[in-house]
Chain A
């Protein structure tokens, strides 16, 4: 690079880290939500239930 070109590679690195963290993080969260929704549906189908930390029982809401 010519000497007059600014040296700001730190900003480049920051942006190139932040973008995939947001996108891969969203993908991971979305996949987790899909798995939980599928699990609860299957739990109801099989008559299985699961007690959550708050004491409520998954698979029984609405009954």
Chain B
């Protein structure tokens, strides 16, 4: 192993431990959110206890859309600057975004069944979100199938930018199209339309999910570094 490979390997190890610590702290915070949501936040009278799924579904959606937006931003910067750190970050953020999307796309139907009477409906918000999820599954498949690092970074950057373009449509879809999906209660031009106890729980959960995003991306970035050190060691051998 070369000196730079050894340094990269050590940096990856330190970063991985930091990412793991942040992620575990966030999961502990999620336990706190559960206590706050289930014990200290009132039940919404018309929707019943199932409304509290909102405290997981909305922060998961927030994290997923932030993750995919950052993939687009760092991909555009990569095409401009050709800095491999930007490509590593985009790949990490995409994978973590897919994990948060999986939470969003499972908790959403579990909420929809008792409230709408159906698990799924092909309205604009839900359909665009599912397309975004599949697009980033394709992004990860593309990365796995191209072996030249520069080609992989360039091709996937284009897909990452296209994915980011869907994000504002998803946010605005409840205004642009007729949809069953509720309109935003916090990210909207007027003041948040939630009672203070519910808003407090939602904001805390969003902070915890954001921290988990940071931890998971740090860990995934460390994995990319460790894999590069491994490949460099193979080339040197």
Contact B9–A12 (Cβ < 8 Å): no
Contact A8–B114 (Cβ < 8 Å): yes
Contact A19–B103 (Cβ < 8 Å): yes
- Say yes or no for A44: interface residue by CB 8 A criterion: yes
Q: Which of A5, A7, A22, A34 has a CB less than 8 Å from the CB of B223?
A: A34
The 7 closest A-B pairs by CB, nearest first: A62-B234, A37-B226, A6-B48, A8-B114, A8-B50, A44-B233, A15-B53
Contact A11–B219 (Cβ < 8 Å): no
Which residues from 1 to 23 on chain B have a C-beta closer than 8 Å to any C-beta of chain A? 1, 5-6, 9, 12-13, 16, 20, 23
Contact A20–B30 (Cβ < 8 Å): yes
A46, chain B: closest CB distance, angstroms: 9
| Given A11-B53, A15-B107, A4:B45 Cβ within 8 A | yes
A interface secondary structure, majority: helix
- Max chain B C-beta neighbours (<10 A), residue from A5, A7, A19, A31: A19
B interface secondary structure, majority: helix
B51, chain A: closest CB distance, angstroms: 8
Interface, chain B (partner A; CB < 8 A) = 1, 5-6, 9, 12-13, 16, 20, 23-24, 27, 30, 34, 38, 43, 45-50, 52-53, 56-57, 60, 96, 99, 102-103, 106-107, 110-111, 113-114, 212, 216, 219-220, 222-223, 226-227, 229-231, 233-235, 237
Bound state CA distance, A33 and B53, in angstroms?
31
Contact A11–B45 (Cβ < 8 Å): no
Interface, chain A (partner B; CB < 8 A) = 1-2, 4-9, 11-12, 14-16, 18-20, 22-24, 26-27, 30-31, 33-34, 37-38, 40-42, 44-45, 61-63
